Amino acid sequence: MDNAAGVRVAVILPAYREGARVAAVVTGCLKHVDKVLVVDDFSPDDTSALAAAAGAEVVRHDSNRGKGAALKTGFGHLRSQGFTHAIAMDADGQHDPERIPAFIAAAAATASGVVLVLGNRFQDVRGMPFVRRHTNRLMSWLISRICRTPVPDSQCGYRLVRLDNPVLYSAKADHFEYESEVLILTARAGGRIVSVPVPTTYGDEQSKIRPWVDTQRFLRLLLRL
């Protein structure tokens, strides 16, 4: 979607085994943007076919490489098509497409140095599971200290990025810790990070996060950075 400032925004949905939900998410997003890109991370189900049938462009990995790798693939693909910004969302329906206009409005702040807009779920946490709520608060406090700027919800995958941000492509992580690495490297490079409030709906979807493995990856990220 273009606006008067020449901003071209598309939505990217990294997806793995989301055949039950991805079509509805694509349909909801297409109410607000002209382009939805689904990066299928080698799903064993019909994720790709259902996403394409709903109107998305689909890029499929030939092996399961991780959420971070899927996002890097998608960001590079959209940039090569002339898009200036991408809104990353989960393909499982946790993120409300009706908030897309708030992210697009934030993209207009490009002139003031905004390079990354994060969703912030903590203005209303009534629907967030207790353990996840407190884990996310702890992680966000830690990321904020490292970034030296307030990051109220560092673990939210609903975010808008400027596709000319080199950090998106130089970050080394390929899994869930990629999103934290992008935050840290963007802040270190002097990029301005802002937040917009978003709701999150928790249903019967199964989290792809593996607590032990992904915690180890996050700790290795902190040591590396």
Domain with 18 in it: 9-224
Residue 82: which CATH number? 3.90.550.10
| Residues 6+ away with beta carbon under 8 Å from 15 | 22, 38, 39, 40, 41, 43, 47, 51, 70, 91
- Tens-place pLDDT, residues 53-77: 999 999 999 999 999 999 999 999 9
Domain assignment present for 60: yes
The dihedral region occupied by 214, where left means phi > 0, alpha psi between -120 and 50, and beta the remainder, is alpha
| Count of structural domains, the chain | 1
Domain assignment present for 102: yes
Domain assignment present for 131: yes
Domain assignment present for 3: no
Residue 208's pLDDT is what?
A: 53
- Tens-place pLDDT, residues 154-201: 989 999 999 999 999 999 999 888 999 999 999 999 999 999 999 877
| Residues 6+ away with beta carbon under 8 Å from 160 | 9, 85, 86, 87, 88, 103, 104, 106, 107, 116, 117
